[in-house]
Amino acid sequence: MKAARLEQGKLLIRDEPVPTPGEGEALVRISAAGVCHSDLHMARGDWFGPMTGGVGHEAIGVVTALGPGAERDVKVGDRVILGLCGTGGGYWCGACEYCLGGTPRHCAQSKGIIGTFSEYFPVYARSLVKIPPSIGDHEAPLACGGLTAYGAVKKLAKHHVLPGRPIAVIGAAGGLGHYAVQIATAFGYRVVGVDIGAERLAFVESLGADRAVGADDAVEVVQREYGGVDAVLVFSARMAGFRLGFELLKKAGLFVAVGLPATSEGNIELNPFAFFMKDPTVIYSAVGTVQDMRELVELAAAGRVRSHVSRRGPLSDLPSIFDELEAAKYLGRAVIDDLGR
């Protein structure tokens, strides 16, 4: 089978044997795999330096074989979505305080899904969610991009930011942000989408945002028209997006960090007195649960959320797709839809 691998930061497409599913695993033949910004960070060594191993973590495919015990969860022929973002989706114990508390990614036994840019992939069967025919293969990015956005939006109500209130999405036209605009709108929030450039802002408006505004004008517009937002979701992979988010937030608002900038971008810096005066709640939102994935699949099947795919190509196009993603040459997402070439 064909598979993309990193070897000390160098991206290679190699021929490898088809893997055998282990205990509790299903073997999935990948129909389509989404290209996430975190894949680019890994390929470029932005977070941990040059890496070696598989790459890719969001996909749709069909179960072709089962390891011992996996028959309790899926069967051969099931069409499934797999991903649960980059961590916690490959395995979790189900019995520790974190698993029982709804945050299995913190489980000491958790394993991330990584390596879906390949024709076949073995995965923990309990992490798989069956999908209906109405959800096409191009919706593979729901597995991480969509689920991450869904998990972030769900945290609004958890922290008492109720539907009907104004919220801001930083990086609203991006691979994750465009999902957040749709999901938050579906939930009844007044969404202010923030991005850069006329084309991207028009795209944000088309997604149903209450307002689309450029980053340079965002503070003035948001303060004048809304008096600040109750919550901000930062999907930007630039530290400037984090700084802008704090400026848009009203006093005692909720700051939800989602994006992971390169380590070269430095750290989040807060002036203690400004922090004291604004008194925000600051949280990080990552990943989602299997139940979250089921709920998102229902939204997608109902037509409330869709993946905007601007770039498709075979596995051999992955290096050029990474270059285009880095240069922000397309809106929404890219999908690899031929893993054998």
Note the pTM of the prediction, 2 decimals. Answer: 0.93
Mean pLDDT of the chain: 93
pLDDT above 90 covers a percentage of the chain that reads: 77
Are 184 and 200 within one domain?
A: yes
Q: Does residue 303 lie within any of the structural domains?
A: no
Q: Does residue 275 lie within any of the structural domains?
A: yes
Are 188 and 99 within one domain?
A: no
State residue 85's pLDDT score.
61
Average pLDDT over residues 244-252: 97
Are 90 and 127 within one domain?
A: yes
Is the pLDDT at 73 greater than 90? The verdict is yes
Are 265 and 184 within one domain?
A: yes
Q: Does residue 293 lie within any of the structural domains?
A: no
Are 192 and 275 within one domain?
A: yes
Confidence class for position 42, pLDDT limits 50, 70, 90: confident
Number of domains in the chain: 2
Are 153 and 280 within one domain?
A: yes
Are 211 and 193 within one domain?
A: yes
Confidence class for position 47, pLDDT limits 50, 70, 90: confident
Confidence class for position 140, pLDDT limits 50, 70, 90: very high
Are 76 and 139 within one domain?
A: yes
**Can you give the residue range of the structural domain that contains 170?**
147-284
Confidence class for position 306, pLDDT limits 50, 70, 90: very high
Are 314 and 182 within one domain?
A: no
HEC assignment per residue over the chain:
CEEEEEECCEEEEEECCCCCCCCCEEEEEEEEEEECHHHHHHHHCCCCCCCCEECCCCEEEEEEEECCCHHHCCCCCCEEEECCCCCCCCECCCCCHHHHCCCHHHCCCCECCCCCCECEEEEEHHHCEECCCCCCHHHHHHHCHHHHHHHHHHHHHHCCCCCCCEEEEECCCCCCHHHHHHHHHHHCCEEEEEECCHHHHHHHHHCCCCEEEECCCHHHHHHHHHCCEEEEEECCCCHHHHHHHHHHEEEEEEEEECCCCCHHHCCCCCCHHHHHHHCCEEEECCCCCHHHHHHHHHHHHCCCCCCCEEEEEEHHHHHHHHHHHHCCCCCCEEEEEECCC
Q: Does residue 291 lie within any of the structural domains?
A: no
State residue 87's pLDDT score.
64
Which of 239, 269, 284 finishes a domain?
Answer: 284
290 or 287, which is more confident: 290
Is the pLDDT at 55 greater than 70? The verdict is yes
Confidence class for position 330, pLDDT limits 50, 70, 90: confident
Are 136 and 152 within one domain?
A: no
Is the pLDDT at 328 greater than 90? The verdict is no
Q: Does residue 272 lie within any of the structural domains?
A: yes
